[in-house]
């Protein structure tokens, strides 16, 4: 609690400091140039040279400028382009430039820009009002509308970029973004983010012009503040999380495509058509039968798109989420038919620079509240609240179930910890490799300890938030707190049969015979999980051990996501883990990598791993070997086995000695200390179109000794079918929907795995 109070207090001070930066000006004769001059010769980031020839850049009108971009890809870009020949000019031409943004403009000393490339042939006659020209910039799709975002409040520079990277694998539109360094009239302005925008272009929202023949769509509106001269206000009030309507507060839609200024040149009734489309959606949500699959809100919104929007907002804990900078768009009926799409409202992503706890108001704590309930804390202070339909969605059991399934799916891909860790590390490398972050900090005195510390703080926040979201949407809340209205997540991943690769017996099945049933060596450091020889035990290892065990007598272990099968035997020593250990001073015990070979190849969209790390944390590199000779790369992290981990699937385990351990004062077969050890679950996404032959694990450089106890895989099913043909000869195993192994097919739903690694769901009536 104290940590949260300090975070909130510090955030409030930061917010007050940010507001203090604005002195009321929407322009400045020096174009808000940084106070400190920065010189440099080269950078690894693209260079953007903007020349306004001393003109004043404004927020309410466009200024004519030229822009030149130097981008050598992975090579260095030099500021003095005349000296260093052979550089790649990515773009050079006329543009119109103006300031953009609301809070990102007023609360930041470094100002963001809107950039629109212009046709050179038309500039002579029309100047800044020349026709726009679609151009490709920094490898991104051609368009004539670009944003130069100015990360100033976000001292990590990573919040927007990370959000879009995570969402891009699933969301209908998440803009591409590229870091660059900007020079305006020869003055260094620091790190910016060249970004696509949610605009009508074919490479973006792909909207057509409104035509009189079909006025049902190709609309783009944005839920935002009422600070435009013309906007549409919802006829419905916002609501608290219990459904109580909040009167005197607003839900506001700004016209984006077409804009209000364009209505006069468009078919009569265009503005009303947009309002009617909004009303139809909101009326459906407000109806008594809004949940009806055929007649309710699903007629008007693209549910998967709204789900992906909710995932992005909740993972980032964006305090502006749902209510500000929240684009909605829809195609016309005829356009949707040509695209093979629907004509329902979809969402797009924008503006996450104050997400992930970057402001100190409206409950920013990573494990604080669900953002869709934030009206409960905002309504006293803020006029612009979350639309009532998000409350409605989260009270529709069918929507919640679909949301939960989607989260389980994307959590194994771009929202996995492996992806997030790798992405943050790569962003840090890009920003520091040639001093860009230091230069930006020098220019703006935007005091931070160092970029590594900012990145780690962001990473810690994301990990905590993921645990919070998992607890609600995957049904794995160990504390029994609010689960966001979700139920339990059934096991979906099946146990993987391992043919070879386990190198140690670390599970005791019989305490009285521990020396024979558990790997033993003259040196304790050569056995067990750690260098003292401690192991876990299965249920039934001794009549006196009724708890603190890792699996049942058959080796079964289950999590909310997967079912595992551990190798156990009371009659023989049987290896049941791949244990990787570092070398000590005498260079013994060095097992840095190993390969687990499947009994038969499996086709899977994701692999789950049950394991731990003894004597310290460890990050394990994972190489997935496919049967076609290709590989996939990932990583998994295990906290020390007695350190709390949000991914623990078994807690309160005892550890048992396999020999006398003097420092712990225990003998073979005795338990040491409290039951505070655990098994951790991690996952790596895999190519669902390929079959997996084996997995290589390489120990990280940290102190810990990681161990892999079991694997599970998410089968690529071919649909539900009845056994019309004799497939019994190809069946390897049969499981219930919860992952329990069956001897034969049984009445109801069976999951059947075949010798070729595929799996099917079969119903026996």
Q: Among candidates 353, 315, 385, which has minimal Cα distance to 101?
A: 353
Do 506 and 613 have their domain in common? yes
Over pLDDT 70: what percentage of the chain?
86
Do 266 and 400 have their domain in common? yes
- The reply to whether 252 falls in a domain is yes
pLDDT of residue 586: 53
- The reply to whether 455 falls in a domain is no
Do 269 and 346 have their domain in common? yes
The span from the CA of 187 to the CA of 82, in Å, is: 17
Task: Report the pLDDT averaged over residues 168-175.
Answer: 88
Q: Tell if the pTM clears 0.75, that is, is over it.
A: no
pLDDT of residue 587: 52
Which of 87-101, 385-399, 486-500 is the least confident region? 486-500
Over pLDDT 90: what percentage of the chain?
62
Instruction: Categorise residue 29: left if φ over 0, alpha if ψ from -120 to 50, beta otherwise.
Output: alpha
| Residue 555 contacts residue 549 (beta carbons within 8 Å) | no
Q: Which residues of 502-516 are buried (b: 16+ CB within 10 A; e: fewer)?
A: bbbbbbbbbbeebee
C-alpha 701, offset from chain centre: 26
Decide which of 738 and 149 is more confident: 149
Question: pLDDT class for 516, splitting at 50, 70, 90?
Answer: confident
Do 524 and 615 have their domain in common? yes
- Structural domain boundaries enclosing 137: 24-197+418-447
Do 708 and 720 have their domain in common? no
Q: Beta strand 759-764 with 717-721: parallel, antiparallel or unpaired?
A: parallel
Do 60 and 189 have their domain in common? yes
pLDDT digits (tens, 9 = 90+) for 96-136: 999 998 777 777 889 999 999 999 999 999 999 999 999 99
- Tally of structural domains, the chain: 4
The span from the CA of 104 to the CA of 112, in Å, is: 7
pLDDT of residue 7: 37
The span from the CA of 605 to the CA of 294, in Å, is: 32
Sequential DSSP letters for 452-494? HHHHHHHHHHHHHHHHHHHHHHSS--TT----TT--PPPP-BE
- The reply to whether 729 falls in a domain is yes
Sequential DSSP letters for 30-86? TTT--SS----SEESS-EEEEE-TTPPPBSSS-EEEEEEEE--TTS-EES-TTTSTT
- The reply to whether 4 falls in a domain is no
pLDDT digits (tens, 9 = 90+) for 672-724: 888 889 999 998 888 888 899 999 999 988 789 999 999 999 887 544 333 33
Question: Does position 482 have pLDDT exceeding 50, yes or no?
Answer: no
Q: Exposed, middle or buried: residue 583 (CB in 10 Å: 0-12, 13-18, 19+)?
A: exposed
Do 588 and 635 have their domain in common? yes
The span from the CA of 712 to the CA of 715, in Å, is: 9
The two tokens of residue 170 are 């699933």
Q: Beta strand 731-735 with 326-330: parallel, antiparallel or unpaired?
A: unpaired
Do 558 and 422 have their domain in common? no
Four-residue CA torsion sign, 304, 305, 306, 309: positive
The two tokens of residue 678 are 């655990």
Do 190 and 235 have their domain in common? no
Task: Report the pLDDT averaged over residues 147-169.
Answer: 95
Q: Angle at CA 589, nearest 5°, toward 587 and 591?
A: 110
- The reply to whether 329 falls in a domain is yes
Which of 15-24, 89-98, 297-306 is the least confident region? 15-24
Do 540 and 662 have their domain in common? yes
The pair phi, psi for residue 101, each rounded to 5°, is 90, 165
Do 666 and 757 have their domain in common? no
Task: Report the pLDDT averaged over residues 725-746.
Answer: 54
- The reply to whether 642 falls in a domain is yes
pLDDT digits (tens, 9 = 90+) for 423-471: 999 999 999 999 999 999 999 987 666 899 999 999 999 999 998 998 8
Do 232 and 192 have their domain in common? no
The DSSP element (H or E) to which 677 belongs, if any, is strand 677-685
Task: Report the pLDDT averaged over residues 328-343.
Answer: 96
Question: Does position 480 have pLDDT exceeding 80, yes or no?
Answer: no
Question: pLDDT class for 243, splitting at 50, 70, 90?
Answer: very high
Q: What count of Cα atoms within 13 Å lies in the side-chain half-sphere of residue 155? A: 21
Q: What count of other Cβ atoms lies within 10 Å of the Cβ of residue 498?
A: 21
The pair phi, psi for residue 124, each rounded to 5°, is -55, -40
- The reply to whether 101 falls in a domain is yes
- The reply to whether 206 falls in a domain is no
């Amino acid at each position: 609690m104290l940590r949260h109070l300090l975070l909130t207090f510090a955030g409030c001070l930061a917010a007050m400091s940010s507001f203090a930066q604005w002195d009321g000006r929407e322009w400045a004769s020096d174009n808000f140039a940084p106070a400190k001059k920065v010189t440099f010769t080269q950078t690894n980031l693209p260079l953007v040279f903007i020349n306004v020839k001393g003109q004043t850049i404004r927020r309410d009108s466009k200024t004519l400028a030229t822009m030149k971009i130097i981008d050598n890809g992975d090579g260095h870009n030099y500021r003095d382009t005349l000296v260093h020949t052979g550089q790649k000019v990515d773009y050079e031409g006329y543009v119109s430039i103006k300031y953009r943004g609301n809070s990102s403009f007023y609360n930041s000393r470094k100002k963001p820009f809107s950039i629109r490339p212009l046709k050179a042939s038309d500039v002579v006659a029309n100047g800044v009002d020349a026709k726009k020209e679609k151009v490709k910039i920094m490898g991104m799709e051609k368009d004539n509308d670009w944003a130069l975002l100015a990360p100033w409040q976000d001292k990590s520079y990573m919040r927007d970029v990370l959000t879009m990277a995570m969402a891009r694998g699933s969301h209908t539109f998440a803009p591409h973004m590229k870091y660059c360094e900007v020079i305006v009239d020869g003055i260094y302005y620091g790190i910016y983010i060249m970004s696509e925008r949610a605009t009508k272009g074919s490479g973006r929202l792909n909207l057509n012009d409104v035509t009189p023949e079909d006025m049902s769509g190709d609309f783009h509106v944005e839920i935002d503040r009422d600070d435009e001269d013309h906007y549409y206000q919802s006829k419905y009030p916002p609501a608290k999380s219990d459904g109580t309507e909040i009167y005197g507060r607003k839900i506001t839609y700004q016209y984006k495509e077409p804009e209000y200024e364009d209505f006069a040149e468009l078919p009569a009734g265009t503005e009303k058509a947009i309002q009617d489309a909004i009303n139809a959606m909101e009326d459906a949500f407000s109806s008594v039968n809004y949940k009806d699959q055929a007649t309710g809100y699903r007629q008007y919104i693209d549910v998967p798109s709204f789900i992906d929007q909710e995932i992005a907002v909740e993972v980032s804990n964006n305090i502006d989420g749902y209510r500000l900078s929240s684009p909605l768009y829809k195609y016309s009926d005829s356009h949707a038919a040509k695209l093979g799409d629907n004509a329902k409202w979809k969402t797009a992503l924008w503006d996450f620079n104050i997400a992930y706890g970057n402001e100190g108001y409206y409950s920013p704590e990573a494990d604080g509240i669900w953002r869709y309930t934030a009206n409960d804390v905002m309504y006293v202070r803020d006029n612009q609240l979350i639309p009532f339909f998000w409350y409605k969605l989260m009270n529709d059991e069918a929507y919640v179930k679909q949301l939960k399934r989607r989260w389980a799916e994307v959590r194994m891909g771009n929202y996995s910890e492996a992806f997030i860790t790798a992405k943050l590390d790569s962003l840090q490398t890009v920003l520091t490799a040639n001093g860009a972050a230091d230069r930006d900090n020098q220019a703006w005195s935007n005091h931070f300890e160092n970029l590594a510390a900012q990145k780690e703080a962001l990473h810690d926040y994301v990990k905590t938030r993921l645990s919070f979201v998992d607890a609600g949407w995957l049904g794995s809340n160990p504390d029994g707190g609010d689960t966001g209205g979700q139920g339990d997540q059934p096991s979906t991943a099946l146990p993987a049969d391992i043919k070879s690769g386990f190198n140690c017996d670390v599970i005791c099945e019989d305490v009285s015979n521990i020396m024979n049933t558990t790997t033993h060596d003259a040196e304790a450091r050569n056995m067990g999980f750690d260098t003292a020889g401690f192991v876990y035990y299965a249920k039934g290892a001794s009549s006196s051990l009724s708890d603190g065990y890792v699996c049942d007598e058959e080796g079964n272990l289950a999590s909310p996501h997967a079912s595992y099968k551990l190798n156990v035997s009371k009659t023989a020593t049987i290896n049941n883990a791949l244990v990787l250990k570092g070398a000590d001073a005498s260079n013994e015990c060095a097992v840095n990598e190993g390969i687990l070979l499947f009994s038969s190849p499996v086709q899977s969209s994701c692999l789950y791993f049950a394991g731990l790390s003894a004597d310290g944390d460890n990050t394990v590199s994972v190489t997935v070997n496919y049967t076609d000779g290709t590989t996939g790369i990932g990583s998994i992290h295990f906290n020390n086995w007695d350190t709390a981990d949000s991914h623990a699937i078994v807690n309160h385990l005892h550890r048992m000695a396999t020999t006398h351990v003097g420092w712990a004062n225990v003998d073979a077969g005795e338990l040491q200390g409290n039951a505070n050890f655990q098994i951790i679950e991690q996952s790596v996404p895999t190519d669902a179109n390929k079959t997996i032959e084996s997995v290589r694990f390489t120990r990280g450089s940290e102190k810990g000794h990681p161990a892999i106890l079991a694997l599970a895989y998410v089968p690529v099913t071919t649909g539900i079918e009845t056994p019309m043909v004799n497939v019994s000869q190809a069946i390897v195993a049969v499981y219930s929907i919860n992952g329990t192994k069956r001897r034969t097919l049984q009445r109801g739903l069976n999951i059947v795995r075949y010798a070729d690694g595929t799996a099917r769901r079969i119903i026996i009536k």
